[in-house]
Structure 1
């Protein structure tokens, strides 16, 4: 038999595995994944002609990653070869950051949860400029999440924020909005009633 080749493919696509077999006929072919026999179905289709064994796997998903073995058998004995298939998943958002309205000096956190084949690169942007950790904000990242935190929001922080995620098979973005209310004003409020209840107070109001 001619050995199978290690393969990488993308979730949602299909893949063909083939193994060239030599020997006296009749030859029977069986395919295995991680040691378990594969049954022919709409997802798994196999054939054998011109001394070549074929296995087609449709609608690939992460669970299809694994070791595939082609086993050829005739009256003289049996032989097999194996190869590993890796199904890579483009990045996607499991949880998107939520838009927020806050008052000045508030602490703001934008959180994103992601999935896909690692490593996943995560970047944050505002006004087309990438955001990095500074004295006024922090950007935390790992393989499955990212947190953008503004320690004390200012009106100039208002705007659209873009979270971009990518790996070697794809990329996507999502947008969230921050609105930081204007300066705090005080409005003179009066409460009228009996002489004992007459009062005046300053009521805060944000614009």
Structure 2
């Protein structure tokens, strides 16, 4: 009995977990990765769990969870707007528990033209049988685009070819004629927002034909 008391008296004191470096708020855009990190003190073993808006998060899929040397990590590999919310890290052992939280905001990628349309000037005599190509770049690449001429919608046809490749958007006008002169507009839509850019196609007639 005496020896047991001595052993108990010489045992190291145990401490409840306490977060000494807490989570920081983050604001990111859709598609970014998010890394959350916090550090705790306390006696091992410490159980660490994560939750979002009071719902448990498990490692796997879009979430990666780890805890190394009392530093807890939660990584969201590819953020979506649904990942916006309040995140909690919980730590507990036989002596007590602690938690810390932060707000994460995920915003849509701003809709913008990285490269806008440029005017095209062609000589009718030189352009017969050839094509004119309007090019622009839009972000994000998931934006839905459409084309217009002089304010009217264009439909894809043997005359007008639409090409969408990543952020690149192209309008091919086949067999350019004088009648193709006009203003061409690319309209981009994403997440309820809409932008556009416009350029002119000028097909100059052969001066000799006016004599």
In 2 relative to 1, CA 184–37 (structure 1 residues): closer, same or farther, beyond 3 Å?
farther
Within a 5 Å distance, the mapping from 1:1-207 to structure 2 comes to 30-31=22-23, 34-37=35-38, 65=79, 69-71=87-89, 76-79=96-99, 85-104=105-124, 105=128, 106-116=130-140, 119-183=142-206, 185=208
Distance (Å, rounded) in 1 between the aligned partners of 2:99 and 2:205 = 76
- Structure holding more helix per residue: 2
In 2 relative to 1, CA 182–37 (structure 1 residues): closer, same or farther, beyond 3 Å?
farther
Deviations 1:79-119 (A, max 9, x none): 46798743212310111111011022242000111112x53
Can you give the 5+ residue segments of structure 2 that lack an aligned partner in the other structure? 1-17, 25-33, 40-77
Can you give the 5+ residue segments of structure 1 that lack an aligned partner in the other structure? 1-25, 39-63, 187-205
Distance (Å, rounded) in 2 between the aligned partners of 1:36 and 1:112 = 40
Cα pair 1:155 1:182 within 8 Å, conserved: yes
Distance (Å, rounded) in 1 between the aligned partners of 2:166 and 2:148 = 19
Question: 1:127 Cα deviation (Å)?
Answer: 2.0
Question: 1:144 Cα deviation (Å)?
Answer: 1.2
Instruction: Tell me the TM-score normalised to structure 2 length.
Output: 0.53
Question: CA-atom RMSD, angstroms?
Answer: 4.0
